[in-house]
Structure 1
Amino acid sequence: MEQAFQCKTKQDGDRIVVDDEWFAERLEQFKDVHKAPPLDLVAIFTLAPPSGPLPEHVPILQQLQHSYNDSLMLLLFHPQTILDGSLTGGKLPISVYETYYEPGSESAEKGLQVDGWGMGRQLQMRFRQLPFEVETGEAEMIAVDFVAKGSGLATVQNSAAPPAKGKARAEESTSTDVQLSAEDEEVMSSLTAKYNAIKMLHQRINLIRAYLAELPPSYLTDASLTVGVSDPPLNHQLLRSISAMLARLPLLAPPTTQSSASITIPATGIPQSSIATALNPAASILFNSS
């Protein structure tokens, strides 16, 4: 799952469904934008308790399955696990379900009965939870870490080494679990996020230094060199990343005085025309510079 957007809903009797005209137009816009690789509708997401899907989710799921994809999945976000602090183990508060049908009965939950789009009441929708993996880049992982560890617990264990031989009276375990306060958890999460951001910045600076070291000598820094007939090949994507990072450096340390409001970092070895060429919109492609 790579893209997501909120849907416009409407009341249809005693149930809530998606606005067909609005959804069809919005889905077509996403398909027009994301053509390489082509994307298709694979799931819907909504809020739900940790116990699983609710009867209110069935009408929307049935509607979209009938119109677009009969194997549409349901992704649920569980905000209650964050509020009550029950989220542990670095897990994200989400779950994914697939649907299947089996013969229903009159005593079954009516909200889960398939009662539209030509399928009758002979089938009942069931949900099966699916395992999933989260794949993110370095920048996205900082946010994922914050969500997953924001309500985590810290454990302190104090245990003495047991004697190697002999008998002794059984003693109670000395290990203790320390419940951190909300303020401590916030401080830990903030420090972790800053550490990850500084680590990423350090890696990118090393990448820039390695790139600059591979460039041939420039006559702009050494007057004894002759002017080359042709410019060396340039990595425009890397040059745009360098320019974006240099533009964001002042944000890391807000200026305290008016004299330090501007920071200038020379890009040794890169002609200004190269950076200007890399920033030309006509020659640029979409990329993730964060």
Structure 2
Amino acid sequence: MNAMDTDELSVVLPSTTTSGLSLSLHPLPILNISEHLTRLKLQTNSPSPFVLGALLGTQNGREVEIVNTFELAIEGTGELVDHGFLVSRRDQYKQVFPSLEFIGWYTVAPHPTARHVVLHEQASLFTGYCSTPLLLLLQPNVNAISMSINAQALPFKAYEPSIEMRDRKSRSVFIEASYNVETGEAERIAVDWTARGGGSGTSLESHLQTQRSAVKMLHERILVLVKYVTDVISGQAKKDHVTLRALTALIASLPATENKAFRTEFDTEYEDVQLTAFLSSLTKSANILNDLVDKHIVLTTGRDERGPGGRRRGIGRQGTIPGDWDRHH
């Protein structure tokens, strides 16, 4: 196969051709696509399942931001997209994020092939929702960092569709587009939270792992003791009276937790603790209620000392209030 044949088979233009697209990739699409691939691998038990999804973002001229993604449903066993699902999911995202538009699609492959050109050229597929849909490719099993224009440690490449004229014939091709990873403050916090395993969930997971290790170690030691006693009974191990006395004392202490008197004492202790907590809460509530009653009395007394016109009722001549003075004179 000569160079020309290789050139004709390639659906990606040489690196000397630049797209001029200013592309920004946010962390959420990276996480979503990686999770999509991992989940399909486990579900289908296949090392290379068919992954297909939509890209959501914003576009202002030649400036494009990929902000979010969602998976696409496939009809049957082929590679035809369920358009009803696509439109429904796109409209749902538009209701929550009105600024996001359908700007392309993503899949998993080492590099674009004629298969991806066929997907792109399906008139009722992506071009029906976006005039120039971008292709974001996740490249699994990339051992070395590429020296291409996307020379970074992420196994992602972005491509812009284009048309090439060759031998007076046109064909659909892709141009590799450089991109920058852009994160906002909220995204940095979310990514850090995810990397740490989910914030407080990490502490719980660490605690459970510690408990599991402790139980596992205890189980292994119990098996050692059981094996030793079994070997002593069968005569395969030497009888050690110190070890056996310690083992007897340990076994004798175990039923204490199942003793009826112990359970009664434990329940009494627990009820006392609960009662103390309840009394503490009740005392706090009584103090709050007492303050509220005092404030109510102050406000009520202030209203009673004012007349109908809102003026404070004072003392008239001869120690009578104005109303009594008018009645007597």
Higher relative contact order (CA 8 A, sep 6+): 2
TM-score using structure 1 length: 0.39
TM-score using structure 2 length: 0.35
Q: Comparing both structures, which one devotes a greater share of its residues to strand?
A: 2
The structure having more radius of gyration, on CA atoms, is: 2
